[in-house]
Amino acid sequence: MFNLKALQRNKTVRYGVPMLLLVVGGSFGLREFTQIRYDAQRIRKKLDPSLEAKVNIERQPAILEDEYEKMKDANLEEWKNIRGPRPWEDSREYQEQQRTRQGKTD
């Protein structure tokens, strides 16, 4: 019926089937390896329950109205945008220039 030599000469059987097995088998293998990674992270992240309760209490969401009150009290009229030194500039020399400019404008 089927000749073994004919199957060995067939390009689909010779190249396609191993490639298909490699792709499908690789995806299953990769899933197993990534699952090990996530399991290890989950084990490492476990905290003591009393410590976890303290962390959750301290992490209260910021209320928008409170943040607005903080910004309302800030004095933005005297704010100046000062450029930092470029990588090729000497930072100490540039800071001295900025200080002298601020002294002249104030």
Q: Tally the domains of the chain.
A: 1
**Cα 95 from Cα 86, distance rounded (Å):** 12
pTM: 0.34
Q: What is the mean pLDDT of residues 55-82?
A: 76
Q: Which of 17-21, 56-60, 61-65 bottoms out in mean pLDDT, i.e. has the lowest?
A: 56-60
Domain enclosing residue 43, as ranges: 1-74
15 found inside a domain: yes
87 found inside a domain: no
Tell me the pLDDT of the chain averaged across its residues.
80
* Cβ neighbour number for residue 4 with a 10 Å cutoff: 7
19 found inside a domain: yes
**Residue, of 104 and 44, whose pLDDT is higher:** 44
pLDDT band for position 60 (cuts 50, 70, 90): low
Cα–Cα distances in angstroms (integers) from residue 39 to residues 30, 35, 48, 50, in the given order:
14, 6, 18, 23
57 found inside a domain: yes
